[in-house]
Amino acid sequence: MAFPLQGDDAARRTPPSEISNPYWVAFSKSCAELINIPVANNDLPTDHKWLELLAGNSLETEFHQFSNPLATAYSGHQFGVWAGQLGDGRAILLGDIASQELQLKGAGKTAYSRMGDGRAVLRSSIREFLCSEAMHALGIPTSRALAVVGSKMSVMRETRETAAVCARVAPSFIRIGHFEHYSSLENTGRLKELADDLIEKHYPECHNSIEPYLELFKSMSNKNATLVAKWQAVGFCHGVLNSDNISVLGLTIDYGPFGFLDQFQIDHICNHSDHSGRYAFHRQPQIMHWNMACLASAMLPLVELNHSSVEAQELLKSALESFPIIFAEEWQKGFRDKLGLQTAEEMDIRLIERLLQLMHDSGVDYTSLFRSLGDIDKDAAVVNISLRDHFIDRGTIDLWLQDYLARLSRESVDDETRQALMNTVNPKYVLRNHLAQRAIELAQQDDFSEVHKLLKILSNPFGEQPEHHQYSQAPADHVRAIPVSCSS
């Protein structure tokens, strides 16, 4: 079974609850290929039983049977406060398929639903589906989305909406909250089971270490440091970086009130429920580091198996100090790549920081600006560079452009090669909120064409796709501030 821990204290058998008259909203052929599901010419599974299975109405297809669906227990910190036991409140793990785990989100109540109904709505399911697949195409580690199945069954949120189930795929859905759960219960046996399984299946390089649990922590911390650096580079805001939403594999999971930056604000808050700005864009690295500290605390009993308490704390503290180092290295590399710099100079960091400050001051569109940098030639005259028109302080951006051109002149690659490389790291297309909202509004009228269209466009984010150029444009003022919250 996919989840390594057996017993009611770890997970409860939870068959999905049926939805009425299910229908396809969206299906990812790319994700289907990952888990070896045959797909017909209409980009849907050849086996029609997949619709009923992904709706939660069945547990088998022609070649697959999931006999032990589970919801798992975990705990965690939410908005910096210990929340105690949480668990899979609306996610049900069906089981393994082609070395991946298949999970249904919104398939009904579980033992951990608390006051919730265990359901997801069409709106949030479409957002998660599209962003999961978009992030994968951007090269950012993420859970995948196989499908969205809809129903006219009513679900109450802020208003009455219709139900949907999002099928998610990942090598593992274990999160920091699983470690925190057993640590809070002082159950070192369960902690050891969890860690040993992760080492066996996902971190085999830790197996022969004289400090396997310390090395496991380092590996998980480093993966998440790299992940958040990639978020910052592409302008992605997660929105709810609670410790129970952080993957032990360094994957982006639990898409809720996320958002890609439009007008650049370094302190942008994408979740309107985040009143203190805890999870603002510029704080994401700091918060991820804080979450790694939570993981270190949870794993302390494992390191104490071979060390005194004081020694174990010092070892984990030292390991935790590598997070900002790894993050800085990845962040600097990511932004050098975005600026087309193949070599490293000390002045590069200041050059990057100056650009970001200028973008913040002028509210420049994040994705479009970096994409347009690839159009600049080394020998261009500053006054002929069109992107300067997006900045309020023309004199200051001109000074930056002079320094940037001087920096490019010290690179050995020609303009054509550099520009091609830049266009492989600076996407033209991201899932902007107004695009997702338009697809949702049409889907709520039973028109799923825009969902399908966005999936196709976002599967090739670095391509020019001139026929879809309007999808790369910054949003108009009247659709820029679309609110998203934890129910999104």
Distance CA 64, CA 97 (A): 8
Distance CA 416, CA 375 (A): 9
Q: Is 146 left (phi over 0), alpha (psi -120 to 50) or beta?
A: alpha
Q: Given this model, what pLDDT does residue 2 score? A: 76
Residues of the chain with pLDDT under 50: 1, 488
Q: Given this model, what pLDDT does residue 478 score? A: 64
Distance CA 433, CA 481 (A): 9
Distance CA 125, CA 109 (A): 17
Distance CA 323, CA 217 (A): 11
The SS3 of residue 74 is: coil
Q: Given this model, what pLDDT does residue 143 score? A: 98
Distance CA 238, CA 287 (A): 11
Active-site residue list: 244
**Max intra-chain CA distance, the chain:** 69
Place of tokens 């200028």: 358
Q: Given this model, what pLDDT does residue 157 score? A: 87
What 335-338 contacts at long range (C-beta under 8 Å, 24+ apart), as own/partner pairs, is: 335/233, 337/233, 337/421, 337/422, 337/425, 338/233, 338/370, 338/373, 338/422, 338/425, 338/426
Q: Given this model, what pLDDT does residue 479 score? A: 61
**DSSP string covering 135-191:** HHHTT--B-EEEEEEEEEEEEESSSEEEEEEEEEEES---BHHHHHHHHHTT-HHHH
Q: Given this model, what pLDDT does residue 488 score? A: 46
Instruction: Residue 367: name the closest of 400, 338, 333 by CA.
Output: 338
